[in-house]
Amino acid sequence: MTIIDDADLLVGMNEYIQSFVPFTLLLILLCIGAAVLLAWNCSRPVVSLALAAKQIHQGNLSARARVYTVDDMGKFGHLFNEMAENLEQTIRRLRISESKYRQIFENSRDCIFVTDTQCRIIDINSAGRKMLGIEKSDNIQQLSLNCCRNGDRQDGNSILQQDIQEKGYVKDYETWLQCPDGTIRHCRLTATSRYDKHGTLLGYEGILRDITEEKKRQEAQQKFQKKLQEEIVLAEERERRHMGQVLHEEMAQNLALVNLKLQEAENRTRDFSEQQGSRIDELLTTTRTLVKRMIHQIRTMIFDLYPAILDDQGLVPSMNWYGDNFTRQTGIEVAVYGAAGSLGLTESQKIYLFRAFKELLHNAWKHAEAKEIVATVKKTGHHVRLTVDDAGKGFDPEDIGPNTEDLKGIGLASIKQWSLATGGTLSIESEPGKGTRISIDIPLEHPEEEA
């Protein structure tokens, strides 16, 4: 049996420990390295996904996650990259679409706008800025679309909003737009309401077309047409006056001379025998009757061609004079009421109202079987109104319809045409068995003139 000295034992243990510690440390380091490598291999795909997601969030849509393995984590990486690819393509298409929309939006010649519920501007294109007189540097968030209706600036937007909300849209809605500098533009509006996914009203969007110049051209054309119509009327009246003068100065005077010669011949029949004188008297009497009838017809034609009394006495006295003659010829009582002074009418308007009065008298005589007719001429504001009431059999106005063609049968076509040509209106009130009232309103060109 070998006895080991304690000193030797301690020396041996120290040598063992000195040789074991480095090995243990090396083993621990190897384990730590293996753990780190394993952790890195496991976390690397996650880190790659996180970095790619961060880059995409920052706007780099082409960023992709790197796939290291073919396990579930690798499959997840491929799925992430596929989603990123789809997102990039979708956003690219959206940008292209938005670019096209913005190009259309900005290049449109009409004003395209987007507003909130209070008609405050959210977005507006270049044409809209030009229409409103807004510079690109101006803050549109502080501006509103102030629409007026029928030129009335009060509550224009509220009326417009009400009209849009009733149907959800308005189309070709004529309105007046008040610009920030105070000018008014005549516009045609097409707009619709904007809602979110919950159905809450967000505001309005639409198109405004500036038709100010178009309206000016229309007004100028209407004035030209009105002036042309008046010139035509005056030309017709000048020709009528000329024909009347020819009839009066030549034919009527010649017939009057023939009548005198016939009377002279009749006075000389006493030189003939009784039988011859009787025969000649009969022929002369018949001839004189025909001549007198022709003279009366020519005088009637002269008056119909041009009522010279209009120049001498004015509208209302001329109507009174004609009404008296009409009563003598037809037995229908005619009463005319109105001021005898100037009504501010032009010559063509005066002629038109007089001829309308004549036409309405004859119309009542032919169709209404009236026994009494009352005509009134009155100046109201900037208009002159002629009203003709008859106590005839009346009719249903709906039976003739609103069109001029429907009026031909009762002789009102020319009256309606001239009313429209002069900017006036024709209204008919009638009921079977209760007579008829026809009113003609003519706008005055110089309303400052007093009756």
**Residue 408 confidence (pLDDT):** 42
Rounded distance, CA 349 to CA 379, Å?
Answer: 13
- Other beta carbons less than 10 A from residue 113's beta carbon: 25
Mean pLDDT within 134-154: 67
Mean pLDDT within 284-299: 72
Q: Is the dihedral of CA 416, 215, 178, 123 positive or negative?
A: positive
pLDDT band at 162 (very low <50, low <70, confident <90, very high): confident
Is pLDDT of 77 > 90? no
Count Cα neighbours of 114 within 13 Å in the Cβ-side half-sphere.
Answer: 8
Rounded distance, CA 122 to CA 204, Å?
Answer: 10
Of the chain, the percentage scoring pLDDT greater than 70 comes to 70
Question: What is the chain's Cα-based Rg?
Answer: 50
- The more confident residue out of 421 and 431 is 431
What is the tens place of the pLDDT at every residue in 175-232?
A: 888 787 778 888 888 888 888 888 888 888 888 888 888 888 888 887 777 776 666 6
Span of 11-25, 80-94, 185-199, 386-400 with lowest mean pLDDT? 11-25
What is the tens place of the pLDDT at every residue in 220-248?
A: 887 777 776 666 666 666 666 666 666 66
Mean pLDDT within 405-427: 67
| C-alpha triplet 275, 280, 283: angle, nearest 5° | 130
**Residue 398 confidence (pLDDT):** 72
H-helix segments, 58-199: 72-107, 126-132, 156-167
Of the chain, the percentage scoring pLDDT greater than 90 comes to 5
**Residue 155 confidence (pLDDT):** 54
Strands 169-178 and 383-390: unpaired
Beta pairing partners, 438: 388, 428
Rounded distance, CA 382 to CA 345, Å?
Answer: 11
Question: Strand order of the sheet with strand 383-390?
Answer: 333-338, 372-380, 383-390, 436-443, 425-430
Is pLDDT of 140 > 60? yes
Is pLDDT of 266 > 70? no
Is pLDDT of 336 > 90? yes
Is pLDDT of 366 > 80? yes
In total, the chain counts a number of residues equal to: 451
What kind and span of H or E run contains 384? Answer: strand 383-390
**Residue 60 confidence (pLDDT):** 83
pLDDT band at 300 (very low <50, low <70, confident <90, very high): low
Beta pairing partners, 177: 147, 185
Written as six digits, the tokens of 138 are 């101006």
**Residue 409 confidence (pLDDT):** 44
Is pLDDT of 424 > 90? no
**Residue 333 confidence (pLDDT):** 92
**Residue 376 confidence (pLDDT):** 93
pTM over 0.85? The answer is no
Mean pLDDT within 420-434: 82
Contact between 425 and 440 (Cβ < 8 Å) = yes
Contact between 444 and 344 (Cβ < 8 Å) = yes
pLDDT band at 337 (very low <50, low <70, confident <90, very high): very high
* DSSP characters over 11-63: HHHHHHHHHHHHHHHHHHHHHHHHHHHHHHHHHHHHHHHHHHHHHHHTT-TT-
H-helix segments, 365-424: 413-421
**Residue 410 confidence (pLDDT):** 46
CA distances from 328 to 220, 305, 321, 334, 405 (A): 46, 21, 11, 10, 33
Count Cα neighbours of 209 within 13 Å in the Cβ-side half-sphere.
Answer: 10
Mean pLDDT within 151-175: 72
Contact between 88 and 69 (Cβ < 8 Å) = no
Rounded distance, CA 348 to CA 238, Å?
Answer: 11
- Other beta carbons less than 10 A from residue 111's beta carbon: 24
Beta pairing partners, 205: 114, 192
Is pLDDT of 387 > 90? yes
At residue 345, φ and ψ (nearest 5 deg) are -85, 145
Mean pLDDT of the chain: 76
Count Cα neighbours of 42 within 13 Å in the Cβ-side half-sphere.
Answer: 6
Is pLDDT of 383 > 50? yes
Beta pairing partners, 111: 208
